[in-house]
A and B are shown apart, each in its own frame.
Chain A
Amino acid sequence: MSASNLHMYVMIAPLLTAFFVNLLGRRSRAWLAPLTLGSLAFSSLASLVVLGRVVRSGGYRYTVGNWTPPFGIELVVDHLSALMLVLISLVALAATLSALKSAEQELPGREHLFFTLYLILIAGLMGLVLTADAFNLYVLLEITSITTYGLIAMGKGRAPLASFNYIIMGSIGACFYLLGVGYLYLMTGTLNMADIARILPDISGGAAVATALAFMLVGLWVKMALFPLHGWLPSAYSLAPTGAALLVAPLMTKVTIYLMVRVMFSIFSVDYLFLQNPLVQSGIVWAAAIGIVCASALALAQRNLKRMLTYIIVAEVGYMVGGVWLANSTGMTGALLHIVNDALMTLCLFLAAAAIYYRLGSLDFDRLQGIYRKMPVTMAAFTVGAFSMIGVPPTAGFFSKWYLILGGIESGHWEYVAALLFSSLVNAVLFFRIIEIGYFFKSGEHHGHELREEAPLLMQVPLLISAVALIVIGLGSGPLVDSVIRMALPGGF
Chain B
Amino acid sequence: MDMVLAVIVAKYNYWVYVVLMMIGFYAMIGKRNLVKKLIGMNIFQTAIILMFVSAGVKHGAKIPILDKYEVLKHGVDATGVVNPLPHVLMLTAIVVAVSITGVALAILLRIYREYGTLEEDEILEKLGK
Interface residues of A (CB under 8 A from B): 71, 135, 138-139, 142, 145-146, 149-150, 153, 158, 160-161, 163-164, 167-168, 171-172, 175, 178-179, 182, 185-186, 191
Q: Is the CB of B111 within 8 A of A164?
A: yes
Q: Is the CB of B48 within 8 A of A175?
A: yes
Could you say which of B2-10, B58-66, B69-77, B102-110 contacts chain A?
B102-110
Which A residues touch B92, using CB under 8 A? 135, 139
Which B residues touch A138, using CB under 8 A? 93, 96
B78-100: contact bitstring with A at CB < 8 Å (1 yes, 0 no)?
00000001100100110010011
Q: Is the CB of B103 within 8 A of A150?
A: yes
Shortest 5 CB-CB contacts between residues of A and residues of B = A142-B96, A160-B110, A153-B107, A160-B107, A160-B111
Q: Is the CB of A146 within 8 A of B103?
A: yes
With the chains together, A71 CA to B86 CA distance in Å?
Answer: 11
Q: Is the CB of A168 within 8 A of B37?
A: yes
Determine which residue in A150, A158, A161, A163 has the highest number of CB atoms from chain B within 10 A of its CB, and name it.
A161
Q: Is the CB of A175 within 8 A of B104?
A: no
B35-57: contact bitstring with A at CB < 8 Å (1 yes, 0 no)?
00100010011001001100100
Which B residues touch A179, using CB under 8 A? 48, 51
Give the A-B pair count, Cβ closer than 8 A. Answer: 72
Which B residues touch A191, using CB under 8 A? 89
Q: How large is the interface on B (under 10, 10 to 19, 20 to 34, 35 or more residues)?
A: 20 to 34
Closest chain B residue, CB of each to CB of A142: B96
Q: Is the CB of A175 within 8 A of B45?
A: yes
Q: 20 A-B residue contacts at CB 8 Å?
A: A138-B93, A139-B92, A139-B93, A142-B96, A142-B100, A146-B99, A146-B103, A149-B100, A149-B104, A150-B103, A153-B103, A158-B127, A160-B110, A160-B114, A167-B103, A167-B104, A171-B45, A172-B28, A172-B44, A182-B51
Which A residues touch B37, using CB under 8 A? 168
Closest chain A residue, CB of each to CB of B111: A160
Determine which residue in B45, B55, B96 has the highest number of CB atoms from chain A within 10 A of its CB, and name it.
B96
Closest chain A residue, CB of each to CB of B41: A171
Q: How far is the CB of A18 from chain B (nearest CB, A)?
A: 15
- Interface assignment of B23: CB less than 8 Å from any CB of chain A: no
With the chains together, A151 CA to B13 CA distance in Å?
Answer: 39
Q: Is the CB of A178 within 8 A of B93?
A: yes
Q: Is the CB of A182 within 8 A of B52?
A: yes
Q: Is the CB of A164 within 8 A of B86?
A: no
Which B residues touch A185, using CB under 8 A? 52, 55, 86
With the chains together, A153 CA to B17 CA distance in Å?
Answer: 32
Closest chain A residue, CB of each to CB of B83: A189
Which B residues touch A178, using CB under 8 A? 45, 48, 93
With the chains together, A347 CA to B83 CA distance in Å?
Answer: 47
Q: 9 additional contacts, CB 8 Å, given A135-B89, A149-B107?
A: A139-B96, A145-B100, A146-B100, A149-B104, A150-B103, A164-B108, A171-B44, A182-B52, A185-B52
Q: How far is the CB of B113 from chain A (nearest CB, A)?
A: 9
Given contacts A139-B96, A172-B28, contact A163 B48 (CB under 8 A): no
